[in-house]
Homo-oligomer: A and B are copies of this chain.
Amino acid sequence: MPIYRIAIGTPRDASHPDAIRAALAEFFSMLIFVFAGEGSGMAFSKIPKLSYCFILILDKCLSLISLNLVHNSPYLSLILFIFTRQVKMVISKTEFVDFFVCFLDKLTDNGSTTPAGLVAASLAHAFALFVAVSVGANISGGHVNPAVTFGAFIGGNITLLRGILYWIAQLLGSVVACLLLKFATGGLETSAFSLSSGVSPWNAVVFEIVMTFGLVYTVYATAVDPKKGNVGTIAPIAIGFIVGANILAGGAFDGASMNPAVSFGPAVVSWTWTHQWVYWLGPLIGAAIAAIVYDNIFIGNNAHEPLPNNDF
């Protein structure tokens, strides 16, 4: 029933000062969100690699042993000397060092695939998205996500032209946030989203579809639905926290973007486009399904009345 609600809008509609103002609000919300979210990812890559530190220790240690050799019995010194030479030769083999570096970096909990790293990423995105939605809620609706804007368009809640304006503002906000991060960190790489080993692009598409379905379903139920009532007060928290929860599930597999703009900014600044399509196709499909499902089943029937004996 809602399909007739899809609207193109008029150019005048999209150039109205309020539309410009709404697009600006999307820009600033996205900037705030991506700066914290992407920045938290870069913070962990900033932590000095333990492996590097360890190799320095080992080298130092072996040199000191060698220096002491002359003060001891020649024969036993020789054993130690040969042993240290052996170790040094082994260390100089690249293959071994690669394994070892991987081992030590795992040990020190740095990556985003350890529980602590995933918790940090989850909280940074949950908190920042909650805030970004809150600050934009009264001006632009607080989409802060091209997939949400697409879902709103599918459900007939925004015109096509204004939606395109939103998309431009959102993508610009993400790129500017990444440029500011690159500058503020003295040139650190803004790492683009990527798939973990063993995760195929189509696996990732399914992940993004289901997770974005959950996000846009939440947007509809807590913010769009006219029957939302009290739940509307905590809508921005719900929208931020479902992203936080999904990152704990999907973050170790495909980065859990649920948001084409979030993966677009780092891709532009680091100019890495591998699998970028995954982070557009999945979220847009998931958003469309959520919009159609929610709009038809739960909003569509205007005659709907709350169940009388079901009071919570």
Q: A278 to nearest B CB, angstroms?
A: 12
Q: A123-B248, A312-B157 are in contact. Are A86 and B103 (CB under 8 A)?
A: no
- Chain B residues with CB under 8 Å of A99's CB are 53, 56-57, 60
In the complex, residue of chain B having the shortest beta-carbon distance to the beta carbon of A221: B135
A198 interface residue per 8 A CB criterion:
yes
- Chain B residues with CB under 8 Å of A198's CB are 46, 186
CA–CA, A47 to B113, complex, Å?
6
1/0 contact string of A3-41 vs chain B (CB within 8 Å): 000010000000001110110110010011001111110
Partner of A114 from B42, B108, B235 at Cβ < 8 Å: B108
- Chain B residues with CB under 8 Å of A293's CB are 28
1/0 contact string of A207-235 vs chain B (CB within 8 Å): 10011011001110111111111111111
Partner of A96 from B37, B57, B107, B184 at Cβ < 8 Å: B57
Q: Tell me whether B115 and A120 are in contact (CB under 8 A).
A: yes
CA–CA, A228 to B142, complex, Å?
13
Q: Tell me whether B157 and A183 are in contact (CB under 8 A).
A: no
Q: Which among A259-267, A268-276, A298-306 touches the partner chain?
A: A298-306
CA–CA, A186 to B202, complex, Å?
9
CA–CA, A22 to B308, complex, Å?
12
Q: Tell me whether B231 and A230 are in contact (CB under 8 A).
A: no
- Chain B residues with CB under 8 Å of A297's CB are 21, 24
- Chain B residues with CB under 8 Å of A119's CB are 115-116, 119-120, 123
Q: A70 to nearest B CB, angstroms?
A: 12
Q: A17-B301, A221-B138, A311-B224 are in contact. Are A102 and B53 (CB under 8 A)?
A: yes
- Chain B residues with CB under 8 Å of A118's CB are 40, 43, 120
Q: Tell me whether A134 and B224 are in contact (CB under 8 A).
A: no
Q: A248 to nearest B CB, angstroms?
A: 4
Q: Which of A129-179 contact B (CB under 8 A)?
A: 130-131, 134-142, 152, 157-159, 162
Q: A142 to nearest B CB, angstroms?
A: 8
- Chain B residues with CB under 8 Å of A217's CB are 28, 32, 135
A82 interface residue per 8 A CB criterion:
yes
Q: Tell me whether A134 and B96 are in contact (CB under 8 A).
A: no
- Chain B residues with CB under 8 Å of A86's CB are 65, 68, 72, 80
Q: Could you pull out 8 A-B pairs where Cβ atoms are within 8 angstroms?
A: A17-B301, A18-B307, A35-B211, A46-B113, A106-B108, A109-B109, A110-B114, A185-B203
